[in-house]
Structures are given as structure tokens and as C-alpha cells.
Structure 1
Amino acid sequence: MQLCNNKKAKRLYPDLANKRLSPTLVNSVSILHNPHQHQRQQPLENTFSTMALDQPFKYDVPLIGTAPPVHDFNQPIPTPSIPASASVTLSLYSQCDAMFQRCTLNSLPSSAYLLKRSKLPLSIMLEPYPRNQLENVEVPLITTGVVSRCTRCKSFINPFIQFIEGGLKWKCNICTYSDNNVPPAYDWDHVTQQKSDRWSRSELNYGCVDYVATPEFMSRPPQPPVYVFVIDTSLEAVQTGMIEVLAEALMGSLDRLPNAEGRTRIAFITVNHAIGFYALRNKDPELIVMSEIDEVYLPRAHHDLVVNLNEARAVVLDLLDRLKTMFTVNPHTYATTRNNNCLGPALKAARQLLTPTGGKIVCFQASLPNMGIGSLTAPTKKGHGLGDNLLLEPKSDFYRSFSEECAKYHVCIDMFVFGSQNIDLATLNVVPRFTGGQTHYYPGFNAHNKGDREKLFFEIKKLVKEEIGLEAIIRTRCSPGLICKSYHGNFSFQEPDIFVLPNVPRDASYCVDLAIERELQGDLAYIQTCMLFTTSFGERCIRVMTTCIPITRKITDVFYAADQIACARSLAYQAIDKAVTFKVRDGKEYLIQKTVAVCSAYSKEIIGVTPSKNVQLNLCRSLSLLPTMTLALIKSEAFNDTGVVPLNMSNQSGLLLRTLPLSLWPRYVYPNLYSLHNMPIQAGTLDRNNHCIMPPQLNLSSERLDRHGCYLVENGHRILIWIGREAVPQLCEDLLNVSRVQDVRSGQVASLPELQNAFSERVHRIISKLRTESRHSNFYPSLYVVKEEGDVMLRHWFLTHMLEDRQQPPQGCSPSIHKSINATTSYFQWLNYIKDKM
């Protein structure tokens, strides 16, 4: 690659100029950071062409004495290696893309005994409705009305079935039933009265297909998109300024709501000590206040309160414009002198509005509900203490029973929670948890802060314009011997093996733990997940995702074919369940024990050495990042038991660990660190595909931080820019438009100043790329400038992202805590701990 000689783009600061990467390494780094390279579907023929690339994962990696191989986070997603003949059509796309369905083990152990020896988790990661689906993977839509299913197990025909009896019948690959009739339409088109080519049918060539549902899959007409916005207008909510921001965001987003068919409906409720309904059928919006909150009823006809967006657009815009000034901190305005809130009755009213159709409730809550059913008291604990309390522990049974009612009527709830630590995030999250919704948390929100304002504005716009799936049910079927043991994610159950999603958010992530009930027969196993849902455009569809995985009787194949990111995610789900059911400490100990068990099993089963203090700690490369990720989980705010993390912050971390899509989850667990002051000359520029080239990723260690350097760390939710104590004036001027480092101000900013120099432009492109990549979730990263000798709290916050470091224990922490694995443990202490425990 020829380097650019433009000196304006080559500003060098007098620090580490001689340590810049060579052009060859820069080229390889730019390839590693191309997100489109490893997310595209891998054709089946490429599986064999890349087997040589898989060979490096079959050697031992010594962990002690070396830094974690962080560039392996950017490796292509590992996929099962199956013979081309496994597919009935020899299709290149017979395997379901890992974007939709991904197994922790790409070679399944043939028996429960073999799985137990490996100590590895066996789970399926599901993301049935990914946001970037249209960009990378084609999902054929079958509109012929021909849906062929197995007579015995009801699984759908797929590329891995077998035609028998001269092609008149097909043998199910899931249950091996062989008396399924081939539909006549596979060979004869009754519309054109011509022969059909069965081998060209999408369901026999693609591992992921969508069917237009036939009447047998519909109990009622497809649900229209219906939105009810419930807005807290108590004194505390008004003081945050969030009402004005959400009104502006909704005004700018009405045309982006999924409304292609003109079927979208909308309603508004405001809540403080009373419930405010809004009639929107006339020329002007009309407020109806209901102060009786014990027995909630609809004060007007349903069609007056829930209106068609196209028909009432002008009235809705008028209402939103009035909301910006209707509620202010003024004793003469409506009900803002009191800090009372009756959220429970308001949610029941919103559910009544959605009972005929189903839909989504979007709730904006800034104060603690203290009136009527569902009232709460302020949390008394400031943090996790020493891990003796539960993670995400609700304080009221009302919200769980209410969410069950919502699921029956296909009602989903999203929560936007604002305010101080007095609000009970864990309890308010119960309704999104069991209705398939999401929770956004804004600690200390203040609309006068441009960074807070921008984050809320963009996240509201992202949420409301999202093309969601509606009234969905999901079921996973497996080959004989495999069973679905447990499920993780935001949903509720209809039957023990069917979970219900009133809404399917884009990139919603779920996990299904599998168990081997009896020995697996044959050489291949199959997993098929089906989702019946309604699109935002009113089309009832069935998404069928089929994955074929080889069966092995060698434990070496089990380890070498492991997907370490999926394994870490599976362990995180199980640890969160333990922290929710028992104590936070139990979840942390589960992560520790499982990591030690996997390392010990590898040493015994693969290396062939009984674990001892004299044995090197090795893992195969396909699992070399597992100890890194489990330590990062232990150090996360969710499992931090040192007593310094506020309760709501740890609960928010637990929510993100449970709900983030798998494409964003690794960088939330182990953030990306980039050096800006000496980044390669290509970094921050655009490649031939108009994508920003990122700097090389660094290990999260303070050893990488130079006192005159400038660094960026990001985890998809926050971006922190570190300015070293001896940063040269030219760097400060080029990046922040200040003449010296002493003039740099720490704190949150909406954006960096846009300056007319190459360095500023390149950094802006990098930040823009990081924020643009967040389009794969509904979260918008906040931006902070952290000066090394500036705000002490911000400096400490940045350094907590250096996960490989040993950190100072918090004040008041008992000496016994120092001896256990916790947030103060370094990476090398962690490895030695594993080795000792082995």
C-alpha cells in the first residue's frame, strides 16, 4: 500500500513518532477493522477454502507472560465445517448465517459425558431480527403459500432434508421421520401450468428464509403498529428538562415511524398525581385529567384517544409543541409543584388503550412512583456492598403480574428512566424484561447539558423509527438427543419451550441452553429455530433458521471448534441468572469456577498433563480470550462487589450484559483502546469503500498510556478521550483548540470542536464511525474529555477501563476482600490464580 505524502495529514507530535506502525502492519490492521468483512455470510465452499486458516487455532497459546491477543476479537465468526453434500441442493447458503443463530460449539460432542469432560457451555445465541440484515445477508421471502412441515415434529423443510421414494417423499433431518409428502407445487406450477424446478426453491437453498404466513398461522388480522407514550410530568421530571427534549425528538420522528401502509396509531398519557388523557380527534388536543387512580377507566371513546397518525398528524404536532412549555416549574402551571407520581395506574390505562390491537408503550419516568398500585420506596443501598444482595432485585410484585397481562394482549413496554439513585431501576425494568422491551437509563440527566440532551434526542429517534416485529412467538427444535434446557433474554413463556415476544426489537439477543439427553447418532446434528411474527408493514411472516453442526467423538475437536465469544456470553447469561436468583457474589464465583474448570480440562484432556503448579497455563487459540473476557465480566459494574458502584449503575450493566446484540457485546465487556497522537497515517481516513480506517486496537493496560499521549477508549455506550499530563501544545491546539494542556477542561461534551486541520478531521471521522456503528443498537455513545491531572473522578473512571491493571482497592474495603478475585485484580494475578486453583 502506498503511503500518502501529504504533510498536512502527517502531523507528528514529539513523542513516539518512531514507533508508528509499518505500512504492512497498517494494512493488516485496516483489514481487521473492516466490519463488513467478517459479518457477511460465509458460503459453504469457503468453509473448506478457509480450513487452512483454522489450523492456527489448533495450537497451544501460553497465557502467562503474554498480553491477551485482543486482535482476535476482530477475527471472522467461527462457523461449523460441514461437507458440501450435507445440503440436498449443494447450495452455497444452506447454512443459516451466524448473524441469526450461533452455537458455542461448532463441533458437538456425541455424548453428555464428553461435554462434561470439556466443561464448555453448550448454548445457542439467537438474534432473529438483526438490524444490519439488509446490508449483509439476503433472506428470501417465499410468497407461494406452500409451507411444507414434518408430519411428526412440525419442523420446516430445509436444505438438509433428504428426498426419498423417487422424490415423492422427504425425510426430516430433525426427527428422521420419512413419510412426509413432497408438495405437488414443487414439481408443477398450477398457475402457469408448467413444470417447476424444485432445486431452485429458496427453502432448499437457504438456511434462513421467510414465509408469508398462511391462514393456519393467524388467529386474527395482522396487528398495526400502535404507540402509547406515557410521560412523567412530576416536579422532578420537569426539573430534568427531559419533557422538552422528548417532545422535540418525537416531532422530528413522526415521519420516520413505521407507517408505510398508513396503519400506525398513536396516543399520549401524562402522569403525576393524576393521569392525563389526550383526545386528538378534533382540531385542537383536549386534556382530560383523571384524579381517581384506584379504578382506572377510559374517559373517552377508544378512537378519540388512539388516533391514526396520518389523519391526526397536525393535532399530534400541536400537542407535542405544547408539551414543551405546558409543564414548567411554576406554581401557576398544571401540577408541577408536587413530586407525586402514579405510574402503576397510568400503565394500566395505557394497556387498556392497547388491549384491542396490542402495541408498544414507551414510558419516560424521572421520579419514583409513590402513589397508587405499584408505588415504591427509594432504595436504601448505595452499592453492592460486598456482593450480598441480588442483582436486578425488584421491590414490587405488581410489575411482574402487570407484564404477564401485557404479554397476553401483545403489549410491549420500553422504559426511559432518568434521575438520581433514588429511582428503582431494577423494579421498573421488570415490565420490559417480560414483554420483550428495552430499558434506557440516564443517571443525573440534565437537559442543560448538551451531551445528555443529544444522547436522549438520538436514542428516542432511533427507537421510534425502528421497524420492529410484532406479536411474535419463537420455538427451537433439535436433533434427537439434544434438548432445550433453559432460556435467557427479555420475553415471557407461552409454553415451556415457546417464548412470547409482544415486540421483537432489532438486534434483540436471546440464549437457549442445550443439553445432551442421550448419545447423538450419525455425523451431523441440526438445530432449527422458527419465529412467527408480524412486520411493521402488516405482513404475517415465519422466519425459519436452520443450522447444521458436525458431531464429534474427539474432545480435541470440541475445544478447537469452540466459539469463545459465544461461550463467554453463555457463561455471562448463567452468571447473571445466579446473581438475580441468589447473590451477586454467587454469579461472580460461577464465572471464576467455570473458567478454572475449562482451563483445567484443557490441560488434562488436550495437553495430557495433570494440572499442577509447575505446569504452564495454556489454551488453544480458539479459547485464548476466554480468561480475559471472564475477568472483564468480574470487573464489570454488574459483578463489582467492592461497594463503590451505585446500585442503579450495576443494574444497568446487568441489563446491557443480558440484552446487547452479540456484535456489540464483546466491546462492551472489553472496550476498545486506541492511541490517537501517533496513529498510523491511514487511520481516520476513508478507504476505497468510503469506510473509516480505525487505528490498531491496544491492550487495556496503563502501560500503554504515555504521559504526553492522547488516547480514546470506547465500549459502545461511552467514548472517553484521555489527554496526558505532558501533552504538547500542538496536539491540544489541533484537537481541542486550546494552547496548552493546562487549559483543557475535563467533562462531558456533545462533540469535539471541528477545526481546520488534518488531525482534527481524522479524529472526528473515528468518533463518527464509533457513533454510527451504534446504529446496530438503540444506544448513542456519550463523549467525555478526561485530562490526566483534571477531575479525579473522571480520571479514576477512565482507569477502571484498564482491565488488565491491578487497581487500588476502594477505601474501607476489608483486607480479606483483597485476597479474592475482584475489580482490583490484574490480568496476570488472575492467570496465576487460575493456575493455582488448577
Structure 2
Amino acid sequence: MTQNYSYVNNSQYPGPNGGGPPPPARGQSPMMYNQQQQQQQQHQGVPPSSSNTLSPPTTPHLHQSRPVSPASDNNPARRAKRHYPTYVADQSSMAGTPPPPPQSTMQQGGMPSVQNNSIPNPAYPTMNPPQPNNNDNYASSLTNGVANMNLYGQSQQPTPLRQDIPLVGQLPLIHDLDLTPSAPQIGQNVIYYSILGISVTPSPNAQSPSIFKRSTINAVPASNNILKKSKLPFALLLEPYPSNMEVPVVTDTVVARCTRCKTYINPFVRFSQGALKWQCNMCGLDNDVPSSFDWDVTSQQQVDRWSRPELNYGCVDFVASADYMVRPPQPPAYVFIIDTSYQAIQTGMVGVVTNSILKSLDNIPNEDGRTKVALITVDNAVGFYKLSGDEPEMLVVGDLSDIYLPRAPSDLLVDLADAKSMVQDLLERMKTMHNESQLVNNCLGTALQAARKLLSSTGGKIVCFQATLPNVGDGVCKPHEEKKAITETTLMTPSSGFYRTFATECAKSQVCADMFIFGGSFADVATLNVIPRFTGGQTHFYPGFNANNSADALKLEHEIEKLLGEQIGLEAVMRTRCSAGMVCKAFHGNCTTRVPDIMALPNVPRDQSYCVEIGIEEDLQGSHAYFQTALLYTTCFGERRIRVINLCLPIARTLPEVFSAADQTAIARTICHQAIDKAVTYKLRDARDLLAKETIDISTAYAKEVIGNVATGASRLSLGRNLSLLPFLILGLLKTDTFNEAGNIPADIRARSTVLLRTLPMNLWLELTAPKFYCLHSMPQNAGQIDPNTKQFVMPPRLNLSSEKLERHGLYLLEDGQNIYIWMGKEAVPPLCMDFLNIPNISQVQSGQITELPKLHNSFSQRATAIVDHIRKERRSTYYPSLYIVKEDGDPLLRAMFLNRLIEDRNANGPVAAGANQQNVNSGMSYFQWLGFIRSKCQ
């Protein structure tokens, strides 16, 4: 039998079972697993072949019992530590991993069958079907399909398999969080799209990948009444500009749009009248097909219209014609504002910032040589720098009431290609030129006004590095005042109205601002974040920053270099269109919303996410609904483009269909946006109540509308497999710094958490809400290495977020996208300490932040280091995770930070009584207290 534990053969490295064999679930054969599942079902009174589903099941009906750890159950100390209710499981059902969910009919991988030599081979991860083995089979399938259905008939949706999961008494199925989002079931097979009238070509890429656009419900309710009964939020989650994603480009500037509703031609339109017209899938209007679809004027040759990217891909970029430009494309322009007051100098921030900018100059997008840069310093006056002539010249303006530019903008904002050596010289000098400064004042608002004046004619990006609370000139921020109770406060309340007005002016001028904030006792992140919030920028916060701490300096350096090296989009607007009967009713994310449904984005950062809530105003007709998001933007290399993202969803006319198509992660994200808005408008208590109410309402609706018996459904607290982790995710949100009611969370930390929950891409948002937890001391032999078959990096098995998983001799890693914590048990053996940290024993290990793990010449160290490096490098954002060593009996603050991320446990401030006895939601509840609270409110 293959051993799953790396150190089981060495008695000095005890595994989870005290050095004994692994639990029964590990290395278990499929036959043994199936036998145990059948025994479990018979024990629970469920026949092996259940007939209560509407289609043949592809996976066992799941009634998973909570696995029991023999080692922990025999230990009285471990039993006293447990926060879960005692639950005696049938020994025959202890199969460590739950069965997989039903497989989608649309799988990952593959490229469209349509070939076009002019299209680069894009990294386009989509949901693709199995391809036909040969052309004869494919032709046969088409012939049989045409013989049995009308060309544009309604599709027959596959009947969803229902899996009800009783939540109370068993651990959350956290491995479901790692599954690829299921694709909308818009047909039995994508090859039949064109036969069914869903798409015009048999391309498997007709649907947009979920990374670009994701719906909370993958089947649109046919009426608002059905949507209201389900209690599910209906919204689209958008990430229009993900990094490292190539999108097919339509280069001939032929942009075909509906003349009535302005929808862009896409794979879901229909051709009619001998293919001379195309019918809009949004409004039904017939439009003329552009002649260039069939005839290339340049080469004077006939072309294959079916090879056009916009008819085969759900997400494409059109190169826009001059009609989409009101001025020449905006050049990338960066104005750096650097705080040089006494506090900024003392922290060492100025030296790290200038050095990082200096190292990033070659990475700033400048393919066509049009990029411009300027530098401004700020203390009690505004310092400009003339970058033309023989050497840099500093020009100080002390009039804060009416700021002006002391030289022509062309002398202050210069082409990087022409003035690079002068910019480098200035940055080298700035590392030390302000070291003797004793000025404690800061006029940030005035410096921002100056930067906007520099950029007003072209637009651009302000990158601000701020270490002192603005206290003179425009935008003075008030010192923090302690509030009487955290539940009585609002969230993200700015202390000055200047920044909201300034952000509006910036948006009009296509100016964006990114804020790097370095906190002392109070930095007022809530106020300074207002500018990025409404201009499409980003906010980074470094509490207690000190450049002498190499880990702090490394994090800042990485995040500056990543942000400046991004291929951003400029001067953008984004609009989402829906099928008739639906409307966009609310927008979330860092943008300015223009009436009625336009999101203005002076800057489109990579990997930032947005949310658009959808309302149903009229009953929906037909079998499918369509959504199209168009992002008009300018690339860094001066090309005006339109990114069009299409999504087709089936229309559901029954509540079971709606629930079976729910996406629990997207639903939790949408509820999170709604709760943040509630906390900003009202109070934090109201936001927590909303999170609880939405969870209770959805659970009650499922019991009533799907299970059919409210009393039975509520008593078992059952949800479908695709919704079973929703209560877990909402509890994770309640325990984040944003919604946590602990009174010791500083206002700046709470504000930073809110910024992250609002803007992170979906994968990092999920990690922040539900961190990943791994055991390192007994990880499989292949963990921390590249799998030779799949060529993918192998991570250790994911653990439930409970302190029950912690052993005193163990080594564990927990990461939430922002921080990586490595927990070392107080009884860790000396060989483990040596192999991991090159330290003789656990008593000499120190808790604290480190830059990286030591690179030692042993397999365990190399694999553990590779895991940390993989986590840090696979970031789809500019945020760089900090690394902490947490010793079990070490720094109490770090220990509390780690344990608070184990969201299945009760927090120190949580209630002691059972959840059913709680009247109000409490963020300190354990997972099972939370389930008891929900169940009591559902009855």
C-alpha cells in the first residue's frame, strides 16, 4: 500500500495518528469506497438506487457523517478542545472525502473547430464538450440532429440531479470550493448549439469563460415572482480585464451592432433572409450583415464568415474605428506623489518607494514610447520637479489656497523615453535628499489638485504614497475618535468631503488615483480610499510600516513593481445589456456610475472585479436569456478597443430548476456587496443582520419550495449540494475584519478589509472569506512538486478550518490571499525544526514575520519552500502575501490572528450557549452554533 505521509517511516515525525497508519479514507480503493457508501445508505434507510430524482444519478446520494478521528477522540484534552457537538458516526461510513458532485456536460479544455490563421492561439479556458472522434461521426450527428428537430426550436434542458445535504452534524464540504464553476446547461451538447438555434457555429467557445463573467444563478427565473420566492440574489460578477488572459482580436475595425439596441454581434445571433441579415438576440431586430464578412476588400478575395472570432468566441476584442474616439488615444501617464514629511522619513518609506519606482521604470508599459511621468513631493508645501534641461530642478509652491503649476506642463510631465536618465538621477537623489526634514505637516489635498492639473489634458494615473495624516490645505483629515460601540457605527465614513468631490473631477478628466497608505496610530484609510473607489484605482495599506523590517520593505517593493508593470486599460466605460424584460439595477466596485447603466472607469486595473445586480421587470419569453457586457477602453500601446463578453443562460420556470443552477460562491459575493452598502449607509449591526437574514431566507425557501416540507427541511437544515457551503461562506464573511463585532479591530484594518472584499478577483475573495488550510508535516510525497502527468503544481490536501486538525507536534500552513501563517506546535520534534528552519529545537524558534523560508538541502524544506513560493507567485492581483511563523506558545497576538482564521471554531468573544438559544447573530459563533442559529430561525 502506498504511504501518504512523508515522515511516517521516521518515528521522530509522528503523523496525525501518532505515528500509526493513515486514516482509512486515505489511499482507499474506489471499490471499498462504493461499498461503504452503500452500507451507509442502507444504515440510514436509503435504498441503493434511489428513485426520488428526476434523472439517473451519476453520484451516490450523499448523507455524509462527520468523520471521527480515532487519535483525537481517545485524547481527553482534544475532546475538551472541540467546539463541535458530539456526533457518533456509523463506522462503515467513515469515508474521508465526500463523493464528487455531478459532472457538467461541458468540460474544460480544447479549442473551437473553426480555424482562422489570423487569430493567435489564445489561452482561453472555457467549458468545452467532448469533441467528435472523426468528421464522419460529426456529420452523422448533425444529420440525425436536423432530422429530429427544427432549426431554431427550443432546447431540451437536461434534468438536474438533486443532492440534498443535511448540514447539521457534519463538517462543511470544503473541497467543493476548489471545483471549477459549473457551466450553464444551455444544451445537452455544445456541438448542437447551431442546430438548437443557440449559437450560429458549433464552436465550444461560444460561451464566455466564467473568469470574465459569472452569474449567481445559471438559469434565469422566468418571472420576478419566481425570483422573489427563491430569495436568491440575481447578479453578474465581472472581471473584464484578467491578467495573463489572451482574448481573440477582431482587427479589421468592422464592428457590427444592432441598429436598435446597440448589441454587438455575437455567437448567439441568428442569420436570416439567405444569410443577408442577422437577428439580434437581445431585441429581435434584423440587421444587415456587413459585406466584409464575406468579401475581403484588401485582398479582393472571398472569406469564410464562419471563421470570424466574434461568431465563435464568447469574449472578443474589437479594434475600434475612429467613430469610437473623441480625441487621440490617451498615453499612459504617471504622476507620483511622495510624502516627504518627518514621519515618512522616519519610517524609511521614501527610500523604499523611490528605489522601487527606479527599478520599475523599464517595466512601465511604454511599447510605443508615449508614456509620460512626473514626480511631486509633499510636506507643508508642494514640490514640483522640472525634468527638462541639463539636470532636475526642484520648484516649491507654498501657496496652498490656490495651487498652480510653476512651469509649463511639458517641463513637469515628460516622456519617459526621452527623460529616462534624468528621472533616474532624480530618484537616486530623492532616496536621501529629504533625510534631514523636520516638517510634520502634510498638504496632500493640495498636491492632488496639482497632479490633476498636470493630467487634465490627457488623463492618466496618480500614484500616491502617504505616511502622514493630511493636516493643512485642502482635504484635512480629522484624527480618529473612539466610538461608543462598534455595532453603532457606520462603515467607511470619510472625515472630509473634499475627496469625493475631487474623485468626481478626476473621473471627468479620465484621471485615476492609486493610494499607498502607511499607517501609524491612525491613517484614515476610509477617507483616502474614496479617490480610488470612484476612479477605478487600488488601495494598499501598510500598518506599522518600518523599512528596517525587511519583510515590510519586500512586500512594498513587490506591490509597487507589480502595479507599475500592469498592462492597464485607460479611459474606459463599461455597459451591460440584458434580454428584454431585465434591467441592471445596482452596481458595485471601484467605478463611477453614470445614469442609467454606464460604469465609468478612468483606469481598468488587472483582475479587479465588479458586480451588476439584475432585476426582472417583465415575464421572460423564449427558452434562453442573454447578457452582454461591453468595455470600451484604450490599451497601453494606444489602440482603442471594445471588449465584448457574452453569456447565454437558460430560462427556468420552476423553483427547483432555479435552485439547482445556483452558484453559492457568486451568491455569497453578491450578498457581501449588499452588506457593505448596508453598513456604509446604516450601521454595522444592520449589515450583520442582512448577512444572517439572507442565509435564513434562502434556507427556508429551499425547504419550502424544493424539499416541500418546511418543518422537515428546517429541522434537518438541508440544502442542495451546490448551496451547501453558503452558510459556511457567510460565516466566513461575518468573521472577516469588516463585519466582525470584536471591539479591538482598528478602524483602518476594518477599512482595508472592506476594500479587499469589494475589489478582489473572485479566487482571492474566496480565499479571504474561506482561507486554505494545509498540514505540512505529513503531506503526501508528491506535494510541493510538479506532477509529471498533469504538469500542475501539487498542493497538500485541504483541511477543514478547525483547531481539531492541530496536533501539538504538527506543522501547518494557512493562507488567506493576504497573509501566509505557518503554525508550529509546541511539541514539534527537533528533526522537523532542523529540516524546516535549520533551528535545533522548538524552544529556539521565534514567532514573527519573515521574508521567506530558509532554503535548505533537504526534500522537506525544498517542498515546503516551493509551496510558499507557489502561493505567492500565483497571485492574480498586485497584493503580495506576508509570511509569518506562528509558534503555538509564542506571540499571543500572532497566535490569535491565526486561530481567528479557523472560522469553524468559536472565537474568544463568541457566545457560550448553543446557537439555537441566540436571539441575534454573533460573528464569534462556531460553525455548528451558526447552523443551530439558522435552523432555529427557519422553524
Q: Please indicate, yes or no, whether the TM-score normalized by the shorter chain is above 0.5.
A: yes
* Contact 2:853–2:865 (Cα < 8 Å) also in 1: yes
Code of the residue aligned with 2:901 in structure 1: it is: H
Indicate if the aligned counterparts of 2:787 and 2:794 stay in contact, CA closer than 8 A: yes
Which residue of the partner structure matches residue 337 of structure 2? 230
Q: Is the 8 A contact 2:108 2:127 kept in 1?
A: no
Distance 1:447 1:622, change over 3 A: same
Gaps of 5+ in 1: none
How far apart are the structure 2 equivalents of 1:749 and 1:283?
A: 43
After superposition, residues 96-115 of structure 1 pair within 5 angstroms as 96-115=208-227
1:460 corresponds to 2:560:
yes
SS of 1:727's equivalent in the other structure is coil
Matching of residue 45 in structure 1 with residue 48 in structure 2:
no
1:65 has 2:165 as partner: no
Distance 1:816 1:557 in 2: 31
Partner of 1:19: 22
Q: Does 1:121 align with 2:238?
A: no
Say whether the 8 Å CA contact 2:278–2:288 is kept in structure 1: yes
> Do the aligned residues in 1 keep the contact of 2:802 with 2:904 (CA within 8 Å)?
yes
2:471 maps to amino acid: N
* Cα distance change on mapping 1:56 and 1:48 into 2, 3 Å: farther
Q: Write the distance in 2 (CA, Å) between the matches of 1:444 and 1:47.
A: 56
Q: CA deviation at 1:425?
A: 0.6
The answer to whether 1:162 aligns with 2:246 is: no
CA drift at 1:265: 0.6
Say which SS state the counterpart of residue 304 (structure 1) adopts.
helix
1:115-160 Cα deviation digits (max 9, x unpaired)? 11111010001111001313xxxx2111112111101101111111
Is the 8 Å Cα contact of residues 47 and 81 (structure 1) preserved in structure 2? Answer: no
Q: 1:818 Cα shift?
A: 7.6
Match of 2:478 in 1: 377
Cα 1:788–1:684 shift into 2, 3 Å? same
Q: 3-state DSSP class of the match of 2:169? A: coil
> C-alpha distance in 2, partners of 1:376/1:816?
44
Contact 1:265 1:307 in 2 (8 A): yes
CA contact (8 A) 1:809 1:818 kept: no
- The answer to whether the aligner puts 1:579 opposite 2:679 as a matched pair is yes
The residue type paired with residue 97 of structure 1 is: P
| Alignment CA distance shift 1:149-1:25 (3 Å) | farther
Deviation at 1:3? 7.8
Across the aligned residues of Structure 1 and Structure 2, the Cα RMSD in angstroms comes to 2.6
Q: CA separation in 2, counterparts of 1:283 and 1:536? A: 29
Q: 2:873 aligns with which of 752, 761, 772?
A: 772
Moved more, 458-467 or 552-561: 552-561
> What is the TM-score of this pair, normalised by structure 1?
0.93
8 Å CA contact 1:57–1:622 kept in 2: the answer is no
Shift of 1:262: 0.8
Matches within 5 A, 1:325-724: 325-328=432-435, 333=436, 336-381=437-482, 385-611=485-711, 615-688=715-788, 690-724=791-825
Q: 1:82 aligned to 169, 186, 193, which one?
A: 186
Mapped contact 1:277–1:305 kept (Cα < 8 A): yes
Partner SS, residue 611 of structure 1: helix
Note closer, same or farther for the CA distance 1:47–1:583 as it changes in structure 2 (3 Å cut): farther
What CA distance in whole angstroms lies between the structure 2 residues aligned with 1:282 and 1:46? Answer: 64
Separation of aligned partners in 2, 1:55 and 1:763: 45
Match of 1:737 among 821, 832, 838: 838
Which one-letter code corresponds to 2:401 in the other structure?
D
**Cα pair distance change 1:123/1:729, threshold 3 Å:** same
Measured after TM superposition, the shift of residue 614 of structure 1 is 7.1
| 1:318 to 2:321 alignment | no
Cα deviation 1:512-531 (Å, max 9, x = unaligned): 00011010000000000001
Distance 1:822 1:783 in 2: 30
- Looking at both structures, which has the greater relative contact order when contacts are Cα pairs under 8 Å and sequence separation is at least 6? 1
Tell whether 2:416 aligns with 1:303. no
1:283 aligns with 2:384: no
- Give me the whole-angstrom Cα distance separating, in 2, the residues matched to 1:65 and 1:82: 36
Contact in 2 for aligned 1:110/1:553 (Cα 8 Å): yes
Q: Decide whether the 8 Å contact of 2:7 with 2:13 is kept in 1.
A: no
Inter-CA distance 207–614: structure 2 relative to 1 (3 Å threshold): closer
Report whether the alignment pairs 1:215 with 2:322.
yes
For 1:163-219, what per-residue CA distance to the aligned partner results, in whole angstroms no more than 9, with x for missing partners? 1111111111011112x1111111222222222221111111111111110111100
How far has the Cα of 1:24 moved from its partner?
6.6
**Out of 282, 298, 305, which is 1:174 matched to?**
282
> Alignment partner of 1:778: what SS?
coil
What is the rounded CA distance, in whole Å, between the counterparts of 1:595 and 1:508 in structure 2?
Answer: 26
Give how far 1:239 is off: 1.1
Counterparts of 1:624 and 1:252, CA distance in 2: 47
Counterpart position of 2:364: 257
Task: Give the CA deviation at 1:14.
Answer: 2.5
- CA distance in structure 2 between the aligned counterparts of 1:281 and 1:153, rounded to whole angstroms: 50
1:228 match: secondary structure: strand
Distance 1:327 1:316 in 2: 17
Alignment of 1:127-138 (within 5 A): 127-134=239-246
Q: 1:631 to 1:48 in 2, by over 3 A?
A: farther
- Taking a change above 3 Å as real, the CA distance of residues 407 and 718 of structure 1, as seen in their structure-2 partners, is same
Question: Structure 1 residues 819, 503: CA separation in 2 closer, same or farther (over 3 Å shift)?
Answer: same
Residue deviations 1:532-563, cap 9 Å, x none?
00001110000111110000101111111111
Deviations 1:740-797 (A, max 9, x none): 11111001111121111111111100000000112x1000000000111111111111
- Contact 2:568–2:635, Cα closer than 8 Å, also in 1: yes
Q: Supply the AA of the counterpart residue of 1:826.
A: S
- 8 Å contact kept, 1:613–1:835: no
Q: What pairs up with 1:749-764 in 2 under 5 angstroms?
A: 749-764=850-865
User: More displaced, 523-532 or 690-699?
Assistant: 690-699
The letter for the 1-side match of 2:419 is: A
Deviation at 1:664, TM superposition (A): 1.4
2:512 match: secondary structure: strand
- Measure how far apart 1:476 and its partner are: 0.6
Distance apart, 1:273 and its partner CA: 0.1
Count of residue pairs brought into register by the alignment = 814
Contact 2:517 2:541 in 1 (8 A): yes
Paired AA for residue 324 in structure 1: K
Q: Which amino acid aligns with 1:91?
A: S
Residue 4 of structure 1: how far off its partner (Å): 11
Give the whole-Å Cα distance in 2 for the aligned partners of 1:539 and 1:805: 52
Do the aligned residues in 2 keep the contact of 1:642 with 1:822 (CA within 8 Å)? Answer: no
> For structure 2, which runs of at least 5 residues remain unmatched after alignment?
31-95, 101-106, 110-122, 134-157, 188-192
**Residue type of the alignment partner of 1:155:** T
Which of 247, 250, 253 is equivalent to 1:145? 253
SS at match of 1:288: strand
Structure 2 distance, partners of 1:174, 1:46, is: 29
Write the deviation string for residues 44-90 of structure 1: whole angstroms up to 9, x where unpaired. Answer: 435999xxxx9996210110011110100111111211132310112
Alpha-carbon separation, structure 2, partners of 1:703 and 1:509: 35
